[in-house]
Amino acid sequence: MNFSTMKAQCMSGGIASLRRVSNAIRFAGRSVSAHPSAWVSLRSFIRVNCGGSITIGKNCEIHPFSMLLTYGGHIHIGDNCSVNPFTIIYGSGGAYIGNNVRIAAHVMIVPENHNPGTDDIPLHLSGKTSKGIRIDDNVWIGAGVKILDGVCIGRNAVIGAGSVVTHAIPANATAVGAPARVVKTQVRPDVMSNESR
């Protein structure tokens, strides 16, 4: 083992130790669990309010100015995910994000809806519904996407920038627009090879 390799291993071990200590201090006494290998920017806004919890997996990157707010629900972010600047994820109805998910800047994930108001009951008193949001593994969410309550996005899906996702998106699909609609479904090479046998 040469000096450069030893130096790199010491540096990475030292960085992981610093992250572990930083996260432990930052989230002490709160229902926030961040794996020691996760990088959670000190400029990100991570809050457990009205109960709930936040779990951040291995090798994740939570970038500056992103916001994770529980509002009484749970936010789960799997391994190897990135949450880029100015993204907002609410946990009110439950937000589950699988492994290897890339979330670009300015994305909003809101697992809750207001009930419509009436002449007798104004909007702010009419209550809310919360079904939750599920984003499966290997999903890429483009900049400025809005994902609304009750949505499930399947594995390997791509959501184009600026889209508004109001309904389920199947696995291996590319969806764009407001409301988002599937414009392409990718055929995976391993599926093609199995079908041709």
Asked if residue 139 lies in contact with residue 157, where contact means CB atoms within 8 angstroms, the answer is: yes
CB-based contacts of 190: which residues, under 8 Å, 6+ apart? none
Q: How far apart are CA 153 and CA 97, in angstroms?
A: 10
114 is catalytic: yes
Residues 17, 18, 19, 21, CA torsion sign: positive
Of these residues, 74, 114, 124, 167, which one is catalytic?
114
Q: How far apart are CA 124 and CA 5, in angstroms?
A: 59
Instruction: State how far Cα 128 lies from the chain centre.
Output: 22
Asked if residue 134 lies in contact with residue 113, where contact means CB atoms within 8 angstroms, the answer is: no
Phi, psi of 57 (to 5 degrees): -80, -170
**Rg of the chain over all Cα atoms, to the nearest angstrom:** 19
> Can you name the residues that pair with 138 across neighbouring β-strands?
none
Q: Which residue has the tokens 């669990």?
A: 33
Instruction: Give the amino acid at 39.
Output: W
- Point out the residues that are catalytic: 114
